[in-house]
Amino acid sequence: MNSPAIRRALISVSDKHGLTELAQGLVAAGVEIFSTGGTRRHLEEAGLQVQDVADYTGFPEMMDGRVKTLHPRIFAGILCRHDREDDMQALSDHSIHSFELVIVNLYPFESTIAKPDVTPAEAIEQIDIGGPSLVRAAAKNHAFSTIVTGPQQYGDVLEELARDGATSLPTRQRLAGEAFEMTARYDRAIADYFSSQSEEEFPATISIPLQRTSTLRYGENPHQQAALYRRLDRSSDGLMSAQQLNGKELSYNNLLDLDSALTIARSFQDPAVSVIKHNNPCGAAESESLAEAAQRAMDGDPTSAFGSILGLNRNLDQATAEVITQPGLFIEAIVAPAFDDAALEMLTTIPKWKNNVRLMQVGELPPPQIASQPRHIDGGLLLQTADVLPDQPDQWQVVTEAQPDEEQLRELRFAWHIVRHIKSNAIALCLNRSLVGAGAGQMSRVDSVQISIRKAGDRAQGSVLSSDAFFPFPDSIHQAADAGVVAVIQPGGSRRDDEVTAACNERGLVMLMTGQRHFKH
């Protein structure tokens, strides 16, 4: 099939970026331009000759532009099949022009509803009717019509037009696919907006719009393939909008660990550093200075810290860089709001680090979003709200005879804050607002307690212990007391809470119950 020569273009766009240059290229190629309303005025102001769609159809724009392109003389010209004599005869019988090129982008519905004070009436006015119809018609008839839906496509189309006077069929097929993706996303955004106006927490049906940003070298293991996609329905903050300043290409596992590191670090108010290994924190600390927090975090589990991922909630300065580049250490990747020049120089020039360490700059960190988190299961999807709501210490209860002092309360708040980020069954031993021993992902809670004590070693003496869920038996309390733990924080809710409390009283431990668990499966 021969590609039809492009003789006429219909242009109706909301986003006018690059429009003048595009139209100038079309005119230079001998293409006649038909346009509507604001697009026509924009082109005429640029000195270009444009045919008014209303003059062509013989029907004026009406209802503030709600009706302008929905006319048989427009849609027949787009949908005609150039290899069908009856189609072309119909055009001739009714004095209809064919449109071989359609350039349309839609009303800015998504950016409109993103405004915090938008009203339903304002949102509804940004629901495009004619635009999607034009896009779908041209995309359906891509054998003969070229559909262009965004400024990023202008250059390729102009290049082919200048060279061949037409576009190739593979190009039209690609553009048609991109056009249908756009209209599908647009309709989904509208449907999601109406769902959001209801009182239901979770809509009856959902669609998560994603755009591939990169193909990764491999997945969790070298025999698995992987790619990274960006959610189009979420603001681009955090890791997805980060700038890589140094280092090799990020791997699948790097991205998972960087996300976890950033999630933990940004959840603290004071300067904080998290150390991630295999998607679990092996160290974390907050302090009055970032350098001190980094030192305490790295000391949490020095063996595991080698080859780990770091997350920081402050700009990485030279003092902090000196801490994390001590002899014998190596860090796979670091994510931070920014990197000071001196720190960047140090991190990228030390032997063995240089081009190996991946440095991710994310900019200012807004508070964590209370958004829905999807998780795939075979044949389906689980959806829940993120566990990012702040703790409520005013609802905690001291259930033991021993009462906590202010310093212990400070430690317990830190311990309860960090345990939500450890895979369950989760136990955290904390001292001086730093994680000194973590027990993660065990099938029994007593095993997690034993691992956290072993990891802490002598630092268990005087530490506090947090548990993401209740203790089913008092045996863990006795192990903790034997190791030197002085206070415990846990949700409570076990049938044996009284036995667990009695064990604390017997050993002189403070225990708080929060009434809220933090499972992280």
Active-site residue set: 140, 278
Torsion sign across C-alpha atoms 482, 484, 487, 491: negative
Host H or E run for residue 112: helix 109-113
How far is the C-alpha of 248 from the C-alpha of 333, rounded, in Å?
Answer: 10
- What b/e string do you get for 457-476 counting C-beta neighbours within 10 Å, with b at 16 or more? eebbeebbbbbbbbbeebeb
Contact status, residue 319 vs residue 309, Cβ threshold 8 Å: no
Burial class (CB in 10 A: 0-12, 13-18, 19+), 143: middle
Residue 425 preceded by cis peptide, ω within 30: yes
3-state helix, strand, coil in the chain (%, to 5): 40, 20, 40
How far is the C-alpha of 254 from the C-alpha of 314, rounded, in Å?
Answer: 20
> CA-CA distances (angstroms) from residue 169 to 154, 166, 220, 391?
16, 9, 38, 58
Question: What dihedral do alpha carbons 132, 138, 142, 143 form, nearest 10°?
Answer: 150
How far is the C-alpha of 430 from the C-alpha of 464, rounded, in Å?
Answer: 5
Residue 318: phi and psi, rounded to 5, are -65, -40
Burial class (CB in 10 A: 0-12, 13-18, 19+), 68: buried
How far is the C-alpha of 256 from the C-alpha of 9, rounded, in Å?
Answer: 46
Residue count of the chain, please give it: 521
Half-sphere exposure for 68 (CA within 13 Å, toward CB): 21
Rounded to an integer, what is the distance from CA 447 to the centroid of its chain? 35
Contact status, residue 42 vs residue 19, Cβ threshold 8 Å: yes
* DSSP code, position 9: E
Give me the DSSP letters along 338-379. -B-HHHHHHHTTSTTTTTTSEEEE--S-PPPP--EEEEEETT
How far is the C-alpha of 112 from the C-alpha of 224, rounded, in Å?
Answer: 40
